[in-house]
Amino acid sequence: MPQLKRYHEIAGALHIGCEEPRAYFIPFENEEKSLLPRENSECFTSLCGEWDFAFFENAARVDIESPSFPACAVCPDKIDVPRNWQMYVDRDYDKPNYINQDYPFPVDPPHIPDVVPCGLYRKSVAFTPADGKKYYIVFEGVSSCFYLWVNGSFAAYSQVSHATAEIDITAYLKNGKNTFEALVVKHCDGTYFEDQDFFRLSGIFREVYILERDAEHIEDIDIIADVSETLDPARLLVNVSGVNGCDLKLISPQGETVYEGENTVVAVDNPVLWNFEKPFLYTLTLHSGSEYISIPVGFRRFEIKDSVVLLNGAKVKAKGVNRHDFNPETGYYVSEEQMLRELYSLKRANVNTIRTSHYPNDPRFLEMCDRLGFMVCDEADLETHGMGYNFGDWYWDYWAHLTDSPEYKEACVDRAKLLFERDKNHPCVIMWSLGNESGCGENHRAMADYIRSRRENAVIHYENAHLEYAARLGKDFSDISDVESRMYASTEYLKEYLENDSLRKPFFYCEYVDSMSTGSIYKHWDGFEKYDKYFGGCVWEYGDHAVNIGTEENPKYRYGGDFADWPNDGVYCLDGLVYPDRSPRPGYYDMKKAYEPFEISYESGAITVKNKRYFTDFSDLSIEWTVEKNGCPFMNGKIEQPNIEAGESEKYNLFDEIIPGGFTTLNVYVRQKNGTLWAEKGYETGFAQFVLSDENPVFRPEKENEVTFTETRTDIIVQCGDTEYSFDRVTGKISGIKAGGCQLLEEPLSLSIYRAPVYSTPHLVDVWKRARYDRIRQKTYGVSVSKDGGNVIITADISLGSAAMPPAVKAKVNYIFTPDGAVGIGIKASVCHNAPALPRFGLSLVMDKSFDKTTYLGYGPIESYSERHRAARLSLYRTSPEKDYEHYIRPQECSSHFGTRYACVSGEKAKIEFFTDESFCFKAIPYDDATIINTAHDDELIDTGRTFVNIDCKLPQLSPDTEFSEKKFDFAVTLAPSGC
């Protein structure tokens, strides 16, 4: 029996009383059941569910080594396993703490703080061990370390949070009631290797179970599905430890028996190869004693040849995403249902690659990836990001203190070993990643050496082994990683690398286009997909991290700093493609668009469709098309059998001619011909849109009335039929619009340059505040009014400025009131030469909330901006301000529609229409910028009783790398109010 010590305080104490890591598998009692999920096995006993629990503020005051501990401890509470204890936000078990890069305690490895919380878990179960059997308890994930007692006897200690710990408990069991107690400590020396970008949580967060095994049993299974260079034949090599041989049966994907016998080397002719588009799997069943173990086997050849990544001989690109395990109610625990839902969501978005950032996922997750078809960059549970900071400054040379120091070599290699040994049999794993953002050192080389010693042709990934790191420190670690991996490198750097023939490694973006601003994803594919050396990359990241303090029916999501946690990184955990409930954010659709497996071009009534898949034809898809005039369909068709081979193109004639006139588009939709596991029949895989005629749609009212005006020293009243405009000479603004017997404006119509910021550009908030754009006021220099033919013209010379600053903008605004009751507003503006780039430039209207219907001909139905509109499409949309508002967890700029040709906001009695000769950005939502800026959480938004409308000439800077620097603006828009 192992000796009990305070191992979490002992540097280098990794696993005491634990079994050697092995491949993940579950034994069953017969062959038929071995194909079922693990809970169907009689050898499997789950310990998940309710446990007794005691929370201690400080492990230093818990006498772990006392013979009476833990039996003497009272566990007054109940807790669910698996679930992190901080997720019980109403119990004051510590607090959720979101940190991106920093350590949550003083950086003094291997020492941890004097005050470290811990929690004692206790569960008693009726369990009678059978004679001639052995029993193992398995913990699939515990943060950060744990001690185990069985029936009062100390059995084991283990660390490495996202790794499996297996303990032989046969000697501790008794007939009847057996009590399992686990003391989980929040921090240990291993925490220095787990400085990932996520909520820092503690406890048992993956499943716990007991396995019943034969006295002599298969301890480990190592499978090599070796495919020859010509892709035929293949060999299956099976290495089994713990027994002297076993019976093998190999079943093909079609259900045919390929081999049955005891040979551990099996030749397979004409193998059906696994790939991410058609993930064909064989089934290998091993029989030893009373146990049957079935493992999916995928034959595939993944290699790097002449700087090109090949899968089964095809040049493939990783169209990927980074993914964390997270749930807003349970923390790090993610159920099978959620895992499947997320993978289905990724398949629907055309994703083919997942990086398990930044640790191994639940072992069943890889089984799902095998079956559904994903390439996986499987990452070790290792990140030491905070080591690079020293009193606020960044030190490249200290970043690798842990990963380059001999005293931490064993700890680093242990994490590579735990990763590889558990996941080595999965065909989906195409790269083994040595961790994330930990500098680069000799311990990384030792990790790579271990994996290569176990699998000669393993492809190793590690980002910090890149060229820049070597250039800065003068150390060459190029042998560690088989790919040149970078995160957030510029496209200029990418082009330079790809065109340098002396740089031989394939290029892989392990992280790119932070999901806070996914519009820039397109520039990483436009013009770069042609380079064979470009392997693609993984978007950061799949899901928002937020803690739900409400209910599932009425969620209230909270982020860093909301729990008085310090240090914290605020909203940076809200950087996902999907919300915490896994519903898509707008950026999800940008990624889906960029990853479309086809390319469509149009010319003279015909489309050419290129199949950009790597292995499969288009026989599972259909192509539908519609021609719209002014957003309304008037011609359509369908291509039933677009059987285009992988990499090939076909041309299809759709029509001879289009009736001219109006704004006309051709929309082509690629849909699923039949339902799949992840998508229903008819699901839209992607689309293409082409503008056939760019004539402005004619929505102008046809009525004509005389336009008259009356004026006083302070006001001008313009009358046209039943439409009346009030113009305030003092403010230089239209102060009222009456139509249909009601007032349309709640506040004067204003020229505006300010808006709410977005998460991805926090630096701009300070820039704008220094320029005092948030305190802009309009100054009127002069107003004139005149009659010109049938029109009335008001001209205002104005400026926009704030206290202690020169005017940021000076403008001449012409208001032309026409006989149809409309007003054309023309703005010629100049920006102060040294003023920072404007947040926006356009008009703002405030209307009563009863104006609750909106129509627009523009890019929708999702929000769209100049750099992020390809995933939207030009059409005529009818919605409402409430429905059109994008509910980001932290309210921000949202819901604009780029490329709008026409818009209308209406109520029961009146409406106001907007049109221009050029397109504009349109938005109508129930919240103003001040409300959005001053509201920390979406669920705290209050009813303003208003509809806020923006008509923008320019709306830039939603991505950190986009802004407009124009100093001159010439913008015209027509407003046409009328009764309904």
pLDDT confidence of 759, banded at 50, 70, 90?
Answer: confident
Q: Which tens digits make up the pLDDT trace of 499-519?
A: 999 999 999 999 998 866 656
CATH of span 220-303 = 2.60.40.10
Average pLDDT rounded to a whole number, residues 231-250: 96
Query: Topology of domain 709-979, per CATH?
Result: Beta-galactosidase; Chain A, domain 5 (2.70.98)
Q: Which tens digits make up the pLDDT trace of 878-908?
A: 999 999 999 999 999 999 999 999 999 999 9
C-alpha span between 761 and 772 (Å, rounded): 17
Give the whole-number percent of the chain exceeding pLDDT 90.
89
**Number of neighbouring beta carbons within 10 Å of residue 21:** 21
Give the whole-number percent of the chain exceeding pLDDT 70.
98
Q: What is the pLDDT of residue 980?
A: 82
Q: What is the pLDDT of residue 519?
A: 62
Please give the DSSP secondary-structure letter assigned to residue 10: S
Q: What is the pLDDT of residue 483?
A: 97
Q: Which tens digits make up the pLDDT trace of 12-64?
A: 999 999 999 999 999 999 999 999 999 999 999 999 999 999 999 999 999 99
| CATH 2.70.98.10 domain extents, the chain | 709-979
pLDDT of 966 strictly over 90: no
Tokens of 619: 């026989």
Tokens of 788: 């010109």
Is 770 or 761 the better-scoring residue by pLDDT? 770
Counting Cβ atoms within 10 Å, is residue 112 exposed (0-12), middle (13-18) or buried (19+)? buried
Mean pLDDT of the chain: 95
> In the CATH scheme, what architecture does the domain 7-26+33-214 have?
Sandwich (2.60)
Q: Which tens digits make up the pLDDT trace of 560-606?
A: 999 999 999 999 999 999 999 999 999 999 999 999 999 999 999 99
| CATH 3.20.20.80 domain extents, the chain | 317-593
Q: Which residues of 780-796 are buried (b: 16+ CB within 10 A; e: fewer)?
A: beebebeeeeebbbbbb
Q: Which tens digits make up the pLDDT trace of 77-126?
A: 999 999 999 999 999 899 999 999 999 999 999 999 999 999 999 999 99
Q: Which tens digits make up the pLDDT trace of 161-193?
A: 999 999 999 999 999 999 999 999 999 999 999
| CATH 2.60.40.10 domain extents, the chain | 220-303, 596-694
| CATH 2.60.120.260 domain extents, the chain | 7-26+33-214
Average pLDDT rounded to a whole number, residues 794-808: 95
Q: What is the pLDDT of residue 957?
A: 53
Range 317-593 has CATH code 3.20.20.80: yes
pLDDT of 338 strictly over 90: yes
Residue 396 in 3-state DSSP? helix
Closest residue by Cα to residue 897 from 852, 952, 851: 952
Task: Yes or no: say if 206 and 281 are a contact pair by the CB < 8 Å rule.
Answer: no
Q: What is the pLDDT of residue 383?
A: 98
Average pLDDT rounded to a whole number, residues 515-536: 86
C-alpha span between 258 and 730 (Å, rounded): 89
pLDDT of 964 strictly over 80: no
pLDDT of 960 strictly over 60: no
Q: What angle do CA 635, 637, 643 make, to 5 degrees?
A: 155
pLDDT confidence of 760, banded at 50, 70, 90?
Answer: confident
Average pLDDT rounded to a whole number, residues 942-951: 97
Q: What is the pLDDT of residue 1?
A: 80
Q: Which of 31-45, 140-154, 763-777 has the lowest mean pLDDT?
A: 763-777
Q: What is the pLDDT of residue 703?
A: 77
pLDDT of 961 strictly over 70: no
Query: Topology of domain 596-694, per CATH?
Result: Immunoglobulin-like (2.60.40)
Task: Yes or no: say if 738 and 724 are a contact pair by the CB < 8 Å rule.
Answer: yes
Q: Which of 172-181, 460-469, 705-714, 798-807 has the lowest mean pLDDT?
A: 460-469
Q: What is the pLDDT of residue 390?
A: 85
Counting Cβ atoms within 10 Å, is residue 812 exposed (0-12), middle (13-18) or buried (19+)? middle
C-alpha span between 759 and 517 (Å, rounded): 8
